[in-house]
Homo-oligomer: A and B are copies of this chain.
Amino acid sequence: MKNTVNEHIELNQVKVKDGFWDKRTRLITDKVIPYQWDALNDNIPDVPPSHSVENFRIAAGITTGEFKGMPFQDSDAAKWIEAASYSLINEPNAELEQLIDELVDLIAYAQKDDGYLNTYFTVAKPDQKWQDISHGHELYCAGHMIEAAVAYYQATSKDKLLQVVCKFADLIDNLIGPEEGKMKIYPGHPEIELALVRLYEVTKETRYLKLAEFFVKERGHHSKFMSQEKSFALGRKDKWFQLDYHQAHLPMEEQTTAEGHSVRAMYLYCAMADLALETGDAKLLEQSKTLWDNAVNKRMYITGALGSQGHGERFTIDYDLPNDVAYAETCASIGLVFWAHRMAKLEVNREYADAMERALYNGVISGMSLDGEKYFYVNPLEVFPKQANYRHDHAHVETERVGWFGCACCPPNIARLTTSIGQYIYTQNHNAIFTHLYIGNESSFNVNGKEVNITQQRNYPYNGDISITVNPAEEVAFDFYVRIPGWCDSYTLKVDGEKIAADENMVNGYVKIVKTWDKACKIELNLEMPVKKMRSHPKVKENAGKIALQRGPVVYCLEEIDNGEDLMNITIPKQAEFNVIDQPDLLDGIVTLVGDGYRITAQPTSNQLYQSHEFTEEPVQLTAVPYSHWGNRKPGEMLVWVRES
């Protein structure tokens, strides 16, 4: 059944050592994971209690009380375990492991004898299990618990939580599936599908893979069960919460456009790609590519953000990408990273890693403040605080990052992605290793039974000089693929000091180095990183006549603190060139872009709202900072797409 061409890369194969990411991982490990532990345990003054751990205690019968929080509150604990487990892989920590063990014990206590595990339904709605599939998040929480269990098992080889989730998965498999007598249902919020594939990878239990396949392929069929639910009815009159919100509007095999809640969509598409990989299903692969093309080439912001509308947190229509009212949820960009990584395993095409990188360096990391204490759920590309704080149609927009949320999906999602960032750098396809991301690391691979060590040194994303060492323990022949990012028009590649004709060896954006490797071999890649003025497809109404500054994978923005207020009155002339300024002391060390622009000189002399005189403009020096770093100094306006003059 397994599509054998792809090897799974374990996180412990790849040790990240990277100036850019280590700071973030450090922050997650030292600050965010302990903070989130306290949050889950309601130990943070002035922050509304999460009640997540307490819910497990109540479900376990250790204490009494009512369930509190969102129906998916369990998933916060699960995502924390997942992130904490990754941090253990990166760096052992007996104290943290002890905390996880205690939480795992508690979760095991909370599991019912038949395997059922969900504190919301156990405590609050014991008679309504499997009846609130559209919004109850029962299978969603199961999915996150499975991911947590797999991660913890991989980190510690401790299988207690794995046994718990297998028992729960067995229960689900007994209740739901294609066989007669089983329920033909699938979750409102996908997540369990990709989790079941991970569980299959660890346990080799094909029932889990088949159940994942059922959930994906059954989707959109017989959807009445969902639309007739009581909780579905909450949105019955609201066209934004119909079946398409759940990606259940069409039989799955007929879906060709990215629709509905964007995080739900991403998690679902991840599972489609997983299944295509595991089962070799060519139809699933083709459909994944079709959905990818629609999502990434018609419905994605330049920051790798997804979701053009706050109401329904969702996709809308092709090329509808308003900047100021974007939803652009951090979790959706994280989902895009997950999906892109899977697609990159399925097909040699840099488009996937390009999007992964775009999301990572922009729409994902924008979600967390540089001190790790505050978060953006929503990542619009243009913020004018006066309007955004006032207007009803901007109600979903936060003009400043905020603390731990009531619905705390994004912070733990950032934590689990950051602590596992190493697994997105490479993929291996038997006798081929692909380098997708330029993140410093020391890694080891098994190629044809032989150990190969690979290291990367770089100062990405602000510098395009990348040094890779490939060092096999003994002689071994394999192909090493080096990605030339889509944003890069000019580059050189040297292998052991010898320039190689990269274009001749280019395979869909990767330079293929065919070689018998027998000693430490040095690959030097230089990616030129000029400042680029990016333009949107002309069908994107909001960006007509506007440019966005991008250098390497980093999208830039103007902030009020650097450029004054009323950013809409700034233009960048066609001929303007931007200088690249290294600013090691600014915003944890960034590169700013400084160049010439114009802005209206002063307010018009008259108070008139409309008049026919031209405004005078004066040259101004503009300073752009990475979009991901905006809002870390003081509140104010922010603008990615600037008018070109």
Which of A309, A541, A611, A643 has the largest number of chain B CB atoms within 10 A?
Answer: A541
- A83-91, A204-212, A268-276, A612-620: which lies at the B interface? A612-620
In whole angstroms, what is the CA distance A532 to B610 when docked?
Answer: 11
The answer to whether A600 and B387 touch across the interface, beta carbons within 8 angstroms, is no
The CA of A115 and the CA of B643, in the complex, are separated in Å by 63
CB-CB under 8 A from A568, the residues of chain B are 541, 544
Contacts of A392 in B (CB 8 A): 240, 309-312
Interface size class, chain A: 35 or more
Asked, given contacts A311-B393, A325-B393, A535-B614, whether A540 binds B297 with beta carbons under 8 Å apart, the answer is no
**Which listed residue, B297, B309, B608, touches A607 by the CB 8 Å rule?**
B297
Chain A 122-150 near chain B by CB (<8 Å), digits 1 or 0: 00000000000000000000000000000
A296 at the interface (CB under 8 A from B): yes
Shortest Cβ distance from A275 into chain B, in angstroms?
26
A534–B612 touching, CB < 8 Å:
yes
Cβ-closest chain B residue relative to A240: B392
Query: Do the beta carbons of A609 and B297 come within 8 Å of each other?
Result: yes
Give every chain B residue within 8 A of A574 (Cβ-Cβ).
Answer: 614
A31 at the B interface (CB under 8 A): no
* Residue A47 at the chain B interface, CB threshold 8 Å: no
Q: Once the chains are docked, how many angstroms separate the CA of A535 from the CA of B614?
A: 7
Asked if A584 is at the interface of the complex by the 8 Å CB criterion, the answer is no
Kindly identify which residue among B532, B533, B600 contacts A538, using a CB–CB cutoff of 8 Å. Answer: B600
Q: Return chain B residues, CB-CB under 8 Å to A26.
A: none
B316, B540, B550, B608: the one contacting A609 at CB < 8 Å is: B540
- Chain B nearest CB from A193 CB (Å) reads 27
Interface residues in A531-550 by Cβ distance below 8 A to B read: 532-541, 544-545, 548, 550
Does A611 lie within 8 Å of B534, measured CB to CB? yes
Contacting residue for A393 out of B393, B535, B538, B550, CB 8 A: B393
**Contact flag A571-B545 (CB < 8 Å), given A534-B612, A535-B610, A609-B298:** yes
**Count of identical protomers in the assembly:** 2
With contact pairs A384-B541, A544-B569, A545-B545 given, residues A296 and B609 touching in the complex (Cβ less than 8 Å):
yes
Residues in chain B near residue A539, CB distance under 8 A: 566, 603
Q: Which residues of B have CB within 8 Å of A604? A: 537-538
Closest beta carbon of chain B to A543's beta carbon, Å = 9
> Could you tell me the distance between the alpha carbons of A321 and B415 in the complex, rounded to whole angstroms?
40
> Roughly how many angstroms separate A392 CA and B311 CA in the complex, as a whole number?
7
A545-576 interface bits toward B, Cβ cutoff 8 Å, 1 = contact, 0 = none: 10010100000000000000010110100100
* Contacting pair A538 B569 (CB below 8 A): yes
| Interface presence of A76 (CB below 8 A) | no
**How far is it, in angstroms, between the C-alpha of A296 and the C-alpha of B609 when the chains are bound?**
8
Task: Please give the distance in Å from A392's CB to the nearest CB on chain B.
Answer: 4
Rounded to whole angstroms, the CA-CA distance of A384 and B317 in the bound complex is 13
Report yes or no: B535 in contact with A611, Cβ–Cβ below 8 A: yes
Query: Is A365 in the interface zone, CB < 8 Å from B?
Result: no
A23 at the interface (CB under 8 A from B): no
In contact, B615 and A538 (Cβ under 8 angstroms)? yes
Q: How far is the CB of A443 from chain B (nearest CB, A)?
A: 31
CB-CB under 8 A for A391 and B316, given A296-B609, A297-B608, A610-B302? yes
Interface centre among A536, A539, A545, A600 (most CB of B within 10 A): A545
Distance from A558 Cβ to chain B, minimum over Cβ atoms (Å): 13
Q: B residues within 8 A CB of A544?
A: 568-569, 643
- B-chain residues with CB within 8 Å of residue A607 when the two chains form the complex: 293, 297
Chain B residues in 8 Å Cβ range of A645: 545
Could you say which residues of chain B place their CB within 8 Å of the CB of A611?
534-535
Alpha-carbon distance A535/B615, docked complex (angstroms): 9
Decide: B535 and A612 in contact? CB cutoff 8 A. Answer: yes
Instruction: Kindly state whether residue A237 has any CB partner on chain B within 8 Å.
Output: no
Closest B residue, CB atoms, query A547? B612
- Contacting residues, chain B, for A391 (C-beta < 8 A): 309, 316, 320
Q: Is there contact, CB below 8 Å, between A320 and B545?
A: no
Q: Mark A57-95, 1 if CB is under 8 A from B, else 0.
A: 000000000000000000000000000000000000000
A386 sits at the interface (CB 8 A):
yes
A609 touches B325 (CB 8 A): no
**A300 at the A/B interface (Cβ < 8 Å)?**
yes
In the complex, which residues of chain B have a beta carbon less than 8 angstroms from the beta carbon of A296?
Answer: 609
Query: B309 and A536: CB pair below 8 A?
Result: no
Contacts of A316 in B (CB 8 A): 387, 390-391
**Hey, which chain B residues are within 8 Å of A603, CB to CB?**
537-539
A539 to chain B, nearest CB (A): 7
Find chain B residues with CB under 8 A from A535 CB: 610-615
Identify the 9 closest CB pairs spanning chains A and B, nearest first.
Answer: A311-B392, A544-B568, A393-B393, A532-B612, A541-B568, A538-B600, A545-B643, A302-B610, A537-B609
- 18 pairs from A and B in contact (CB 8 Å cutoff): A296-B609, A302-B610, A310-B393, A316-B387, A320-B391, A325-B393, A393-B393, A534-B612, A535-B613, A535-B615, A536-B609, A537-B608, A538-B566, A538-B615, A539-B603, A541-B566, A545-B545, A545-B645
18 further A-B contacts with Cβ under 8 Å, apart from A537-B603, A545-B643, are: A300-B609, A310-B392, A312-B392, A316-B391, A317-B387, A320-B386, A325-B393, A393-B393, A534-B612, A535-B610, A535-B612, A535-B614, A537-B604, A538-B615, A539-B603, A544-B643, A545-B571, A545-B645
